[in-house]
Amino acid sequence: MNLKGATAIAGLGITKQGKVFHTNQIGLAIEAVQLALDDAGLTRGDLDGLLLNPGLSWADQGMGSFQLQQAMGLHDLKLSVTMNAGGATACAMIQHAAQAIAAGLCSTVACVFSDAPLKPPKPKGEGKAGGGSAGAYGFARGLDAAYGQFGVNAMYAMVAQRHMHLYGTTNDHFGAIAVAQRRWANLNPAAEFCGTPMTIEDYHRSRWVVEPFHLFDCCLVSNGGLAVIVTSAERARNLKQPPVYIWGMGQGHPGGDPSERLASGAGMARDIAFRMAGIGLKDIDVVELYDCYTFTVLVCLEDYGFCAKGEGGPFVADGKTGPGGSLPVNTGGGQLSSFYMWGMTPVSEGVIQVRGAGGKRQVPNVKSALVSGNGGILSTHSTLVLSNQPS
Amino acid sequence: MSYAKPIPTITPDMKPFFDAAKRHELVVQRCRQCGTHRFPAREICSQCLSRESEWVQVSGLGEVFSYNVMHQVYQAGFAAEVPYAVVVVKLREGPKLVSNLVGVPPHDIKIGAPVRVVFEDITDEVTLPKFTPA
């Protein structure tokens, strides 16, 4: 069964993003769902499915989707699951919602992410180690720290360093991505860095977090919530917003050691999604790539086939991914410069561009958007193709 | 003066590694069925799914596979050393170890450079394998 155009994203809800302290992750999730329902012209009672990607602050709470159901008084859900494939979850949630709807298992599903890792300002203390999925890569917990390796930034940096060594990728290349995305953010009133321009010199002057990553190679950390409503294409046509049709979907989780592969699962996921959509790269008008780091964007551009493996650096060096460039990438500023809602940031910008609602940053004549999610260290991947055309 | 950096917890599965390090020997796990070396300890071989394994001494020789240079202080014991490098060493036998390269300034580290293991006794109980140019 080909699901091309069978379902659509009918509602989008984005809460205030960044240093948002008025409520916790559950409150932010509820706000996001309410905003998405309002956007679609639906009410709470119309939902019969709920998929939740819990952010870090949900960590000690089991059964997140049930907790959210109870907290917002949803009844008689036919689908309720908490999902976590890291940054790949957002597109994967939408995929599974679309599949369930197309199979007739349910009709209208809210896909939600929320997180509140930032705490209100307080006296500065020691940083803390991250690296929640470290064990999966075969690094011994506790042993890394003995050698001074802390957090995911450091683990990702190891992989980036290999790419630089093997392919000649440089910080100028990473910086070209950071600057391009900042230029997009400067056109996006919802971006945390909207009012803050950045030059390549600013990029190089930004402090090192862990070489080869400068501060501006790393995504923001944001409190907030973000939800979309997925429903059948038929129903979406009768709702408030122009439907954002789901043309293609796919996942790719290669396994093994990312520092050996230096590639994500994007190629796998692309093949599945593009086959469903019946399109090729030339049919893509805007690209919204998961960007935990500049490096991740560079690798995924290679893996989707916009350039050859290893040529991502020279490919982005001329700024073609920025406003006015030949390949618009992360047109809201992405997670580097707008806000970090895991994979929901690229999803939301894909929806906005396909609707033609991007204001000053709107890319002209957008029909189709490529949206990606990437989790772990180049280890989980998901792809969506979105379009404003029914088929 | 007491040792100020994090001291790894000796978990039961990793005890043979720390016992060997204390004797200044480097050991990793080897699958008894397919012979694949692995590190850190896993109960089941990810290649052949066998549960049978043994700890075996390895050459201690390998090469710098990758490295990073840490600039943030996550733990007070490293405050005096930033920026300092962390390396991933790929042993001749295959496994990769996160470690430090002794005697090489961070920006002189070269991926591919041959290295050999050395041992640093950090407490009476714990010894850390580190590496130095071979």
Per-residue pLDDT tens digits for A214-231: 999 999 999 999 999 999
A259 touches chain B (CB under 8 A): yes
A206 touches chain B (CB under 8 A): no
pLDDT in tens, B26-44: 999 999 999 999 999 999 9
Number of H helices, E strands in chain B: 1, 8
Alpha carbon distance A104, A108 (integer Å): 11
CB contact under 8 A, B98 and A127: no
Interface test with A, best of B17, B46, B68 (most A CBs within 10 A): B68
Q: Tell me whether residue B112 is in a domain.
A: yes
pLDDT at A379: 97
Q: Which candidate from B8, B88, B130 shows the least CB-CB separation from A158?
A: B88
Alpha carbon distance A185, A277 (integer Å): 29
- Counting one residue from A and one from B, how many pairs have CB atoms under 8 Å apart? 109
CB contact under 8 A, B39 and A157: no
CB contact under 8 A, A212 and B68: yes
pLDDT at A135: 55
CB contact under 8 A, B5 and A143: no
Q: Tell me whether residue B107 is in a domain.
A: yes
Interface test with A, best of B17, B38, B70, B88 (most A CBs within 10 A): B70
C-alpha dihedral (A3, A96, A351, A305), degrees to nearest 10: -70
pLDDT at A355: 98
Can you state the percent helix, strand and coil of chain A, rounding each to 5? Answer: 40, 20, 40
Q: Tell me whether residue B17 is in a domain.
A: yes
pLDDT at A138: 53
Measure A105 CA to nearest chain B CA, in Å.
36
Q: What is the DSSP string of B37-73?
A: EESS--SS-TTT----EEEEE---EEEEEEEEEE-S-
Measure A249 CA to nearest chain B CA, in Å.
29
Scanning A144-203 for CB atoms below 8 A from B yields: 144-151, 154, 157-159, 161-162, 165
Q: Which candidate from B98, B111, B130 shows the least CB-CB separation from A149?
A: B98
pLDDT in tens, A145-189: 999 999 999 999 999 999 999 999 999 999 999 999 999 999 999
Question: In chain A, what residues touch B84 (CB-CB under 8 Å)?
Answer: 148
pLDDT in tens, B60-109: 999 999 999 999 999 999 999 999 999 999 999 999 999 999 999 999 99
Cite the active site residues of A. Answer: 290, 340
Alpha carbon distance B100, B115 (integer Å): 11
pLDDT at B1: 59
Q: Give how far Cα A381 sits from Cα of A55, A87, A170, A250, A255, Å.
A: 17, 8, 25, 8, 11
pLDDT at B127: 97
Question: In chain A, what residues touch B106 (CB-CB under 8 Å)?
Answer: 211
List strand residue ranges (DSSP E) for chain A, in order. Answer: 7-14, 49-54, 79-82, 108-115, 208-211, 213-214, 224-232, 244-252, 286-288, 368-375, 380-387
CATH number for A7-119+221-236 (one of 3.10.20.30, 3.40.47.10, 3.40.630.30, 1.20.1530.20): it is 3.40.47.10
Residue A189: asked if its preceding bond is cis (omega within 30°), the reply is no
CB contact under 8 A, A148 and B42: no
pLDDT lower than 70: segments of chain A: 60, 122-141
Q: Which candidate from A128, A154, A207 shows the least CB-CB separation from B68?
A: A154
Do residues B126 and B18 touch, judged by C-beta distance below 8 A?
A: yes
pLDDT at A55: 95
Q: Which candidate from B11, B42, B71 shows the least CB-CB separation from A208?
A: B71
A213: exposed, middle or buried (C-beta count within 10 Å: 0-12, 13-18, 19+)?
A: buried
ipTM strictly over 0.85? Answer: yes
Cα of A147 vs its chain's centroid, Å: 32
pLDDT in tens, A192-220: 999 999 999 999 999 999 999 999 999 99
pTM of the predicted structure, to 2 decimals: 0.94
Count structural domains, chain B: 1
A142 touches chain B (CB under 8 A): yes
pLDDT at A125: 46
Measure A218 CA to nearest chain B CA, in Å.
14
Residue B83: which domain range? 12-133
CB contact under 8 A, A148 and B67: no
pLDDT at A133: 55
Question: In chain A, what residues touch B78 (CB-CB under 8 Å)?
Answer: 148
Q: Tell me whether residue B4 is in a domain.
A: no
